[in-house]
Structure 1
Amino acid sequence: MMVGWRRSSAAASLQMPPVTILLLVWVFSWGHATAYLDIANMTELQKHVSFFDRNKDGIITPSETFEGYVALGCDVAFSRESASSVHAALGPKTSPVDAPLPQINIYIDQIHKGMHGSDTGAYDAHGRFVPQKFEEIFIKHAKVRSDALTSLEVEELILSNRDPLDPQSWGGPVKEWGLSYKLSSDKDGFLHKDSIRGIYDASEFVKLEEKRRSSRSEM
């Protein structure tokens, strides 16, 4: 019976979702490197990802990312898959050299090292906000309304920014803009300029979480 139980447990573990495996690895890993974050001088990109730093220690764990997605209103399956893929991609790039293996946590002070190509340029290479590039989004693509984007305009924006020499970077903007549109577009299908601006510094995320929390409390 014991042998059979062990085999069943091993087989079950192989069927666990990737994010569950990541969470277990993180839980049983030995410690982590310390993080330093200059909160007063955070870049917009650091503010953007800090929404997922639920305990505000400068380090984002897979469980925190999962919790953040759920807080935004994403379903559990999507949140698990997203947390798994985000940490697999950004953990090794943002972890300091003294971080223990596996390097799956995301260190906010190094988040600029995880930036991908084929984006709008509204963040510079250090993660700072570039107002001119942000305005170009609407100058070039906002045809129906000057202060908002339709779903077709979002698609046009994504395609126009694709780097033909870097096809591996094409997937990131599709996921990011797709989720932004799903979460923040209005009932008429417009993703407003102020909402997009709020996504760049996470203030829109805070509003979405508060709105979701408020709606649940009223049920």
Structure 2
Amino acid sequence: MADVVHHPSFAHRSPTGDSDAARYTKPQGAGSSSDWSHTTSGSESRTAFSPGGKGGDEDYALATLDTSPPAFATAVDAAPVTRDRPVPVDLTQDVDNPGLPRASLVVDRQHPHGTRNPYLADKYPNLSVLQQHVKFFDANDDGTISMLDTFRGFRKLGFNLLFSIMAIFMINGTMAYATQDSWIPDPRFRVYIKNIHKAKHGSDSESYDTEGRFVPEKFEEMWTKFAKTSAEYMTARELFQMTEAMRNAVDPYGWIAAKFEWGTLLMLVGERHPATKQLIVTRDHLRGQFDGTLFYRIEEERAKLAQGRRGATTTTAETYAASGTVAGAGIRPVEAVTEGGRTTATANVSAQRAGPDTVKQRVPWGQAQVLKDVGVEE
């Protein structure tokens, strides 16, 4: 019977029944052990998983077959790293052809039919996933991202002046030339969206392929390999470990770019888990940055928070201004409250899959950007 090693932080599919539940049989006339085939019988059980271990949708098996037959082995003793970073061996049960790069859809276990940026779907139906990721920064819709576009985009996301200026050097300074059609450098350092795939750097997660398509298998590998705490979020420590593990040899630019990108995401939507106090980034937010959906959500929610702030400061000290929610976006309602001359946002923060568990957070207006979905534990 095959030995199965399960990823410690994920629910799994497990064969049930007697000792014949899973076995390897040798076909008639087969020569070596490498010719053996895998047969199964019995039923499978699905164990529910949710943030904090409380209720919610089901998350399925991320198990590693690491014994005979060798054709299916994903871990070996001589390379301990193959056990430390397991791969999703049963992904085909939830996603059709997960290794097939998707040109315009972000596909994963929770969205097997894929989704694309709803803010771009009507006007730009044919953008690749990587093009959707950067389109937010094309402010004047001319197909390029100028230095001013980059600056304004980061400011709209809530970054301070210094960081927004630094982003110009990191993005336009390093990516503009690679995306040009001409060998002559553009003195305005514009990034051309049609050629954004040429700016893809090494030492990344490979969730984008070299043409800017989205690879579901690589996205899921991030979670089986590095999300040791939960299936629904990564901690800051795990994100840092991921950037170290993904490094390619002799690729200093890729090392720096990867840490800049993931560090920026952590600053953008990172939050303290209400139970463990760890700094985390949720799976939904991490997924949303791949097609840029997250950027539009942040801009939209910041506008609503600003409207609530103006309403609170122009009326009585007990004014409550409730912002609406975006359908399907997972953004919770927020109330603007003024107490003692200080305006704060009171947000109901609850996991999308955490059932009735809810935690209240009060954050200063200057820090409130997106109402974040997190798992809640008692």
For normalisation by structure 1, the TM-score amounts to 0.79
> Which of 294, 305, 309 is the matching residue for 1:215?
305
Deviations 1:61-114 (A, max 9, x none): 111110000011100111012113311111111122287741511110000111
Aligned to 1:31: none
Alignment pair present for 1:195 and 2:285: yes
Determine if contact 1:92/1:103 at 8 Å carries over to the other structure.
no
Unmatched tracts of structure 1, length 5 or more: 1-37
Aligned to 1:206: 296
Which deviates further from its counterpart, 81-90 or 136-145?
Answer: 81-90
> Which of 121, 128, 136 is the matching residue for 2:221?
136
Figure out how many residues of one structure are paired with residues of the other and give that number. 182
SS of match in other structure, 2:248? coil
Aligned to 2:170: 85
SS of match in other structure, 1:191? strand
Distance 2:247 2:132 in 1: 25
Aligned to 1:122: 207
SS of match in other structure, 1:190? strand
Q: Displaced runs of 4+ in structure 1, greater than 4 A?
A: none
Aligned to 2:193: 108
Shift of 1:148: 0.8
Determine if contact 2:177/2:186 at 8 Å carries over to the other structure.
no
Determine if contact 2:203/2:247 at 8 Å carries over to the other structure.
yes
Distance 1:164 1:174 in 2: 15
Deviations 1:157-209 (A, max 9, x none): 11000012322311001010001011112331221111111000000111111
Distance 1:79 1:213 in 2: 19
Which deviates further from its counterpart, 60-69 or 205-214?
Answer: 205-214
Aligned-residue Cα RMSD (Å) equals: 1.7
Aligned to 2:271: 186
Determine if contact 2:147/2:188 at 8 Å carries over to the other structure.
no
Unmatched tracts of structure 2, length 5 or more: 1-122, 274-278, 310-378
SS of match in other structure, 1:134? helix
Distance 2:130 2:292 in 1: 9
Distance 1:186 1:210 in 2: 19
Aligned to 1:163: 248
Distance 1:119 1:68 in 2: 23
Distance 2:132 2:241 in 1: 27
Alignment pair present for 1:151 and 2:236: yes
Deviations 1:18-65 (A, max 9, x none): xxxxxxxxxxxxxxxxxxxx9322111100111100122211111111
- If each structure's helix is expressed as a fraction of its own residues, which one has the higher value? 1
Q: Aligned in 2, Cα 1:100/1:172: closer, same or farther, shift over 3 Å?
A: closer
SS of match in other structure, 1:40? coil
Determine if contact 2:243/2:259 at 8 Å carries over to the other structure.
yes
Determine if contact 1:199/1:205 at 8 Å carries over to the other structure.
yes
The aligned amino acid for 2:217 is Q
Distance 1:160 1:60 in 2: 31
Distance 2:211 2:185 in 1: 25
Determine if contact 1:118/1:173 at 8 Å carries over to the other structure.
yes
Trace 1:27-66 onto structure 2 (pairs within 5 A).
39-66=124-151
Distance 2:130 2:257 in 1: 15
SS of match in other structure, 2:187? coil
For normalisation by structure 2, the TM-score amounts to 0.46
Q: Which has the larger radius of gyration?
A: 2
Query: Could you say which structure has the greater relative contact order, defined with CA pairs below 8 angstroms and 6 or more residues apart?
Result: 1
